[in-house]
Amino acid sequence: MKRVLSLLVFAVLLNGCDDGNLIQEDINFESATMQSCNTNNIIYKLNDKEALLLEIPVTSFTTEPSLTNTPKEISISSSNRVVYRFFNGTVSADNICETIPAATPIVTDQWTATDGTIQILTTAIKTTNTTDNSTRITGYNHNIVFKNITFAKSTGTQVYETFPFGDYVTTTTALPFLFDETVEKCSTSNQIYNYTSSEALMLNIDPSLIVNEVTPLNSPRTGIIGTTTNILTYRLFSGLLTAAYFCNAITPTTPALSQEWNGVTGVTGISGVVEVTTTTNGPGSFKHTIVLKKVSLKKANNSFLLGDNFIYGELLTTN
């Protein structure tokens, strides 16, 4: 009898004992909306009287999509902090983002992440023009997951092997593409170009596509975007672009180049097609209308579609 009683007492003591590692408390922000502060590097979620905060430099969120299943990894540290806070009342942005936080509610407890990895998987957000099937990049979605994160709390530690934080969206200005239909050609090369004051779309065109002969009805000359001929390049500049930039043996360093996108190699009859239709434009003069069909532009892991039929422009030539 004494033996049975002793076992019961031991069981009660064991279940009532908490060394801080035995009780797993739930953190649930799945239905909370991701928000960010304009005045600091804090991204956060609020859930009534609770807040889950990530303090991380904005440079951690790139405009370069991740490779498949290859997120960016950042170690949790004093510069990349994860904090879970409890308040004695409903919490708002004023308690998170203000230089002098609101006086109420007040923090009643805090868990601080001491170890773990922040994983960020970035994908481009694209808008589609249903009229021409073109796409433009308007932002980036950064899916954030905490891996093997350890929280230090007043009663011990709590570890999560995988803790999804959520999606953080950053916006970007879509490339302007404000070209008119006027195409110029360099006299010393096969380079043709269309430009505005801040951007250029250049095509090192196959010379067999620009011939001073009228093409038959509905039978344009065709080629495909490649790496040695029909090389397509889009450039965006941070300074004023003029005609003096083009047709130089050495590419000028001004205006400063902001972005460069390159045409994706085409597949005959399927994608990356260059079509040229030639008509007369007066005695001894010809007009070559250049259309890019299902052509995509790419920069590292980023890409977008110009559209099913993108009018590159019209090139005028004479005999």
Contacts of 197 (CB under 8 A, 6+ apart): 240, 241, 242
Domain housing 258: 182-318
Contact 302, 124 (CB under 8 A): yes
Which pLDDT score, from 0 to 100, does residue 299 have?
Answer: 97
Contact 279, 265 (CB under 8 A): no
- Token couple for 111: 């868990």
Which pLDDT score, from 0 to 100, does residue 23 have?
Answer: 52
Q: Which of 115, 144, 171 is the last residue of a domain?
A: 171
pTM over 0.75: yes
Q: Which of 149, 171, 193 is the last residue of a domain?
A: 171
Q: Do residue 192 and residue 129 come from a single domain? A: no
**Band (6; pLDDT cuts 50, 70, 90):** very low
Query: Is residue 9, in this structure, part of any structural domain at all?
Result: no
Helix (H) or strand (E) holding 247: none
Query: Is residue 105, in this structure, part of any structural domain at all?
Result: yes
Contact 297, 304 (CB under 8 A): yes
Per-residue pLDDT tens over the stretch 12-68: 333 433 444 445 578 999 999 999 999 899 999 999 999 999 999 999 999 999 999
Which pLDDT score, from 0 to 100, does residue 9 have?
Answer: 37
Contact 245, 193 (CB under 8 A): no
Q: Which of 171, 206, 225 is the last residue of a domain?
A: 171
Give the count of beta carbons closer than 10 Å to the beta carbon of residue 144. 22
Q: Give the total number of structural domains in the chain.
A: 2
Report the distance separating Cα 214 and Cα 288, nearest Å.
Answer: 9
Which pLDDT score, from 0 to 100, does residue 26 have?
Answer: 81
Per-residue pLDDT tens over the stretch 129-149: 999 999 999 999 999 999 999
Q: Do residue 76 and residue 128 come from a single domain? A: yes
- Read off φ and ψ for residue 15, nearest 5 degrees: -70, -25
Question: Which one-letter amino acid corresponds to residue 306?
Answer: L
Which pLDDT score, from 0 to 100, does residue 126 have?
Answer: 97
Query: Is residue 4, in this structure, part of any structural domain at all?
Result: no
Q: Do residue 163 and residue 27 come from a single domain? A: yes
Residue range 168-185: mean pLDDT, rounded: 96
Q: Is the pLDDT of residue 295 over 60?
A: yes
Helices (H), 35-158: none
Query: Is residue 125, in this structure, part of any structural domain at all?
Result: yes
Q: Do residue 230 and residue 302 come from a single domain? A: yes
Q: Do residue 213 and residue 282 come from a single domain? A: yes
Which pLDDT score, from 0 to 100, does residue 159 have?
Answer: 97
- 175-to-115, 152, 198, 229 alpha-carbon distances in Å: 40, 45, 10, 25
Q: Do residue 285 and residue 312 come from a single domain? A: yes
In this predicted model, which residue has the larger pLDDT, 25 or 268? 268
Which pLDDT score, from 0 to 100, does residue 24 have?
Answer: 57
